[in-house]
Chain A
């Protein structure tokens, strides 16, 4: 699998605090994605990036922002965490956005908002 690492892997935070999750890839992939996984909903796209400083919203983007200042790093920020954002967050990357490319996922970040 591609070298995708997520940090932190596990975090417990309080409601109202800001949280940043980091995704780091060593494959020089241009496209990167943040998904969240919840029971009954499968994986849903939060935000994605198609290059440095080029990002766009996904299906469930409310309450989240992202930044991509370097090819290898894609940051997901919860400006003010809420209990509904308790979830498992997965980062993914792929070299190009056209069909037929393998899409690799990180190992996930477990976030609990109390």
Chain B
């Protein structure tokens, strides 16, 4: 969707390196969801951000929502092969739980 742009589309990093994935909305977000998808599997919920400036962490993954609530970043510290997969951001524009998704970022982590 043009409402939500996710970048980069793909990323190859060496194990142990840090990386950032961005998700930019054309309008103000009510919420921003991050999911991880392993190949051939379902979506695993990572984090949901609502407030401007909010930051959440889970293990080595940190997600932030900017003050204007139009951009979110997902940062992985010291990447591991287990981090490989497709990361998806989903935008909540306060429409009954319906999400608009970015096209996803395919992450490969080389040992």
- Please encode chain A, from 36 to 74, with 1 for each CB lying within 8 Å of some chain B CB and 0 for all others: 000011111100101000000010000000000000000
Give the bracket for the number of chain A residues in contact with chain B. Answer: 20 to 34
Distance, CA A6 to CA B45, complexed state (A): 17
Taking a contact as CB atoms closer than 8 A, the residue among B45, B98, B102 that contacts A1 in the complex is: B45
The reply to whether A105 and B42 form a contact with Cβ atoms under 8 Å apart is: yes
Q: How many residues of B contact A (CB 8 A)?
A: 24
Q: Which residues of A contact B88 (CB under 8 A)?
A: 42-43
The reply to whether A103 and B96 form a contact with Cβ atoms under 8 Å apart is: no
Taking a contact as CB atoms closer than 8 A, the residue among A31, A42, A96, A100 that contacts B48 in the complex is: A100
**Which of B50, B88, B96 has the most A CB atoms < 10 Å from its CB?**
B96
Which 9 pairs, one residue from A and one from B, show the smallest C-beta to C-beta distance? A107-B42, A97-B96, A105-B43, A99-B30, A43-B101, A42-B101, A42-B103, A97-B97, A94-B97
